[in-house]
Amino acid sequence: MNVWNHAASFDAHRGSLRAWLLTSVRNRCIDYLRGRGGRERQERELQPEVAYALSPTDPWRDVALSLERTAVRDAMASLPAEQRQVIELAYFGGYTHAEIADMARVPLGTVKGRMRLALEKMGSYLRGRGLVDV
C-alpha cells in the first residue's frame, strides 16, 4: 500500500518501474527489520504457508527472470570477497557504512571505496552480458 500511495514518486528517468518497486519493497523490509529488536537483525525463516514457489503460469516470464537472476548472481560472484561483502551487508542487510566499517574493522573510507568499486564492477559486468539494463 505504501508503494500504491506513493506511486506518483516514480520517476521513469531514474530507472525501470520494476527496479523502483523492488527498491521500495526492500527499503520497507529494512525499515521493518530495523524496528524489530532494535539493532539486532535476525534471519526470519518464512512459514511454510507463506514460502511456496510462484506457479509457473507464464513459462516465458520464468525464462526471462531466470536469465536476469543468473546474470546478477554471476555479477556478484565476480566481485572480490570484500566488495561483495559490503554490498550484501549494506543492501540486503540494511547496515550503514559506519556499522559495516565497525564489523569489518576497516576505515570508513575503505568501506565507501569498496562500495563504489563493487557497483562499478557489477555495472560493467551486467552491461557486458547485455541482459540487465544498467
Q: Which residues, 6 or more positions from 10, have their beta carbon under 8 angstroms from its beta carbon? A: 17, 20
Residue the block writes with cell 525501470:
16
Half-sphere exposure of 5 (CA within 13 A, CB side): 2
CB of residue 132 vs other proteins: minimum separation in angstroms?
Answer: 5
Contacting residues for 66 by C-beta, under 8 A, at least 6 apart: none
Closest to other proteins by CB, 42 or 77: 77
**Using CB under 8 A as the criterion, which residues of the chain lie in contact with other proteins when the complex forms?**
1, 4-5, 7-8, 10-12, 14-20, 22-23, 25-27, 30, 46, 49-55, 60-61, 63-65, 67-69, 71-73, 75-76, 87, 90-92, 94-98, 100, 109, 111-113, 115-116, 118-120, 122-123, 126, 130-134
Instruction: State the minimum distance, in angstroms, from the CB of residue 94 to other proteins.
Output: 7
Q: Is 36 helix (H, G, I), strand (E, B) or coil?
A: coil
Quote the least distance from Cβ 50 to other proteins, whole Å: 6
DSSP 133: -
Amino acid letter for position 120: E
- Quick one: 80 or 109, whose CB is closer to other proteins? 109
User: Between 31 and 36, whose beta carbon lies closer to other proteins?
Assistant: 31
Burial class (CB in 10 A: 0-12, 13-18, 19+), 86: buried
**Shortest spacing between CB 124 and other proteins, in angstroms:** 9
